[in-house]
Amino acid sequence: SLIGINRSEGNASTGRTTNLSLINHNIYTHIKDKFQNTYIQAVSNSDNDNTIVSDEKWSVVVIREPFLLHQFRDDVKFTLSNDEIEEEEEENRRATERIKCVQCNDFYIEQDNRMGACVHHDGFIYDNYSSRLEVWTQRGAIEQLLKEEARSIQPSAYGMQASEQKEHLERMKQRFKFICCHQTLFIGGMMGGCKKGKHSSPNVTVEKWEETCHENVLEIVDLHCCDIDDLSSVVK
């Protein structure tokens, strides 16, 4: 073939990089110029107005390498087929559309969704101070903590002395733990997480993700030796 692609890979601080460069760049430029000079021009015949003589100049280029094809198509502004237009739109969508991840509660774009991009907890939450180890969803536990915080500014809650009450509330704030790592759930801070993986795909709902977290049930059974039937009765 006349023109080829030189592919070189290297390590950069941002990760693995691939550099592509053209072999025989001069020939490429020459062919590109020739290609752009092709045309179909209609010349009307002055002797007889009914016949139209067209002057055609053709170029045919065969390109097998996908990158080179893409490059050439862009350079000569070749008209795209419907399939190619769709493909380009799809690529564009992948590069710009924001998708909500139900695991870390953040947005991402599809092309950036690689391993390690999503930091999250993949287990449910349990109330470590309850005798039956109540099971909560992350959303439920956060809501509960926020409610308690709002209630705590009202005077004489729990009917205790101010300092005693404050201490009790502070302790209660730390009762929710993640089953996956036993870290404490705090409100108002960064969500954090003990697992690094990919963000959730667009079709996964929060409910579905919570279900997955609840399936992480075996560990809590080990932890407190209750049976699964018992546990499911306290799931909130």
Site for Zn ion in 97-116 (CB under 5 A): 101, 103-104
Q: Does the protein bind Zn ion through residue 28 (CB under 5 A)?
A: no
Least distance (Å) between residue 107 CB and Zn ion: 9
CB of 215 to Zn ion, least distance (A): 14
Q: Around 59, how many Cα atoms within 13 Å sit in the side-chain half-sphere?
A: 14
Cβ neighbors of 90 (< 8 A, separation 6 or more) are: none
194 sits near Zn ion (criterion: CB under 5 A): yes
Binding residue count for Zn ion, defined by CB under 5 A: 10
By CB under 5 A, name the one of 3, 28, 121, 127 that touches Zn ion: 121
**Least Cβ distance, residue 193 to Zn ion (angstroms):** 6
Question: For residue 224, which of 177, 155, 157, 160 has the smallest C-alpha distance?
Answer: 177
User: Is the CB of 126 or the CB of 178 nearer to Zn ion?
Assistant: 178
What are the CA-CA distances from residue 110 to residues 129, 196, 205 (Å)? 41, 17, 17
Q: Does 181 bind Zn ion (CB under 5 A)?
A: yes
Residue 180 interacting with Zn ion (CB under 5 A): yes
> What is the C-alpha to C-alpha distance for residues 193 and 105, in angstroms, rounded to an integer?
12
d(CA 98, CA 108) in angstroms, rounded, equals 6
| Contact string 47-86 vs Zn ion (x = CB under 5 A) | ----------------------------------------
CB-neighbour burial class of residue 81 (10 A; exposed 0-12, middle 13-18, buried 19+): exposed
Q: Which stretch binds Zn ion (CB under 5 A): 56-64, 79-87, 176-184, 217-225?
A: 176-184
Look up residue 46 and give its two tokens.
């002055």
Q: Which residues bind Zn ion (CB under 5 A)?
A: 101, 103-104, 118, 121, 178, 180-181, 194, 199
